[in-house]
Amino acid sequence: MAFLLSCLFLLATLAGCATLPDTGDIIYGPLDVRTPKVVGARGELSPERSKRIVERLQRQSGSTELTARQSIVLEAMTALTDAAKRGVDVRLIVPGVSNHGLVFYAGRSRYEDLLESGVKLYERRGGMLHAKTAVIDGVWSTVGSTNLDLWSFARNDEVNAVILGREFADEMEAMFAADIEASNEIRREEWKGRPLTGHIKEWFSRLLSYWL
């Protein structure tokens, strides 16, 4: 029910039928919110919304689950890898297939950095993965249109619902667990042994990543 209500808030905002006040969705220090509360859901210039997502990632202390497209901007990459290095359980699901080859391989060019830091990485099997979600420390959740890429961070207008509450986060984590069951884990040693053609495609795509 909490998930349904939050989706309705988000859809209403996208349709221009509702405007929720931005009460500040970045909370510093430990989070312990029992009852779900929508603290932000509106369209705005991406740099501000993306900055808030990165700030929350930088302050994660327990666990983080994310679904995103492969291409990840440097600020988000640094937040994820730094968190993994300091012992946060960071799990990331990305698409296993894409209709944009350059974007797909540009994202894959970041895998080694993620795996080296301790991030657990999964590629979703089957169809396209368009979800953009995050659950941080079991209580801070977001659902919306913001990718962790340069287009979302600097160029596009995006909208995200940010929900504080353990009940909603539990529902999100259950769906995340189901997605992991339908994904292939990318393991560090196996990834290092991928074909040379993959290395070449990733290197070339990464050169063009600014425009993807």
- Using the predicted structure, report yes or no on whether residue 114 has a pLDDT greater than 90: yes
Write out the two tokens for 99.
């209709």
List, as one string, the DSSP characters of 123-167: EE-SS-----EEEETTTEEEEES--SSHIIIII-EEEEEEEE-HH
- Using the predicted structure, report yes or no on whether residue 95 has a pLDDT greater than 70: yes
- Using the predicted structure, report yes or no on whether residue 49 has a pLDDT greater than 90: no
- φ, ψ of residue 140 to 5 degrees: the values are -100, 115
Please report the pLDDT score of residue 56 as a whole number.
80
Q: Which one is predicted more confidently, 161 or 13? A: 161
- Of 49, 73, 51, whose CA–CA distance to 159 is shortest? 49
pTM above 0.95, yes or no: no
What is d(CA 177, CA 183) in angstroms, rounded to the nearest whole number?
10
What is d(CA 191, CA 168) in angstroms, rounded to the nearest whole number?
34
Q: Which one is predicted more confidently, 211 or 65? A: 65
Highest mean pLDDT among 16-20, 60-64, 66-70: 60-64
State the virtual CA torsion across 190, 194, 200, 202 in degrees, nearest 10. -40
Place of tokens 């932000």: 40
The pLDDT confidence band at residue 24, using thresholds 50, 70 and 90, is very low
Mean pLDDT of the chain, nearest integer: 75
Which amino acid belongs to residue 142? T
Write out the two tokens for 175.
């769906």
| Mean pLDDT of the 112-133 span | 87
